[in-house]
Amino acid sequence: MELSTVNRPMENEEIEIDLLQLWHAVKHRIWMVLLAGFIVADIAFAVTKFMISPMYSSSATMFVVTKETTLSSLADLQMGTQLTNDYEILITSRPVLQQTIRELGLDMTYNSLRDAITISNPNSSRMLIISTLQPDPELAKKVVDTLAQISSEYIAEKMEVTAPKIIEEGEIPRFQSSPSILRNTAIGGVLGILAAVFLICVAVILNDSIQTEEDVERYLQLPVLAVVPDKTGSGAKRSGAKKKKKNAKSSRAAS
């Protein structure tokens, strides 16, 4: 019966996790946690700063009008709102993008340019905002301005409507839009801290050595009858302190 108890199958064993023990383990190794967060944050900063190309954003705004000149007409307002959906498709159509590439002499396909273009219609209004992300700030402005001008002429020709009005041209951005160095550095620091905490917890959970009286009762199911003090650790330090104290007394007596 005893052998069957000792050699019980692994699948019947239960692993108990002491959260307080994990907390003390992490607290005892807090310097490792902070060091890991600092190192990973530095790596994220270096990668973002020196290995990822910065991208700059510029936007132009177009106003959708119909062929009628009476903007106060309700039917005209409704028609203009409906046309914005069609204009969004036409602005990023292949002829418009290819002509933009030719005029600017861009070394890219129209699909690549389409991926770099974003069109938004705020609050379902008759305003269309054309935005682009480019690695050069001046190029970002040129792309949105050229695209807005070409698409306005293309829409007027193909749909036989009044050309959309360009009410706001793009600006040369002064700051990069992506990537965010501060955000990536903060994310790297948090990930480093979480990784260190995870590894410490795993090491504590997988450590099956007996360290305390509670471990003896928990794993061996035996009562603790006596505890032998550690002679090599704190006891040795105390004996050394006593010897130093005796030597100091004897030296004073001799003097």
Say what the pTM is.
0.62
The packing angle between helices 19-28 and 181-206, to 10°, is: 120
pLDDT in tens, the chain (255 residues): 343 443 444 444 555 667 888 888 899 999 999 999 999 999 999 999 899 889 999 999 998 876 554 444 545 545 556 677 788 889 999 999 999 999 999 999 999 999 999 998 887 777 889 999 999 999 999 999 999 999 999 988 888 778 888 999 999 998 888 888 999 999 999 999 999 999 999 988 887 776 666 666 666 666 766 667 766 655 555 555 455 545 544 555 555
The CATH number given to whatever domain includes residue 127 is: 3.30.70.1130
Residue range 142-158, pLDDT digits in tens: 999 999 999 999 988 88
Same domain, 162 and 219: no
Tally of structural domains, the chain: 2
The reply to whether 246 falls in a domain is yes
Residue 19's domain comprises 15-47+182-254
Residue 162 to residues 56, 152, 193: CA-CA distances in angstroms?
32, 9, 59
Same domain, 159 and 140: yes
The reply to whether 174 falls in a domain is no
The reply to whether 161 falls in a domain is yes
Same domain, 120 and 202: no
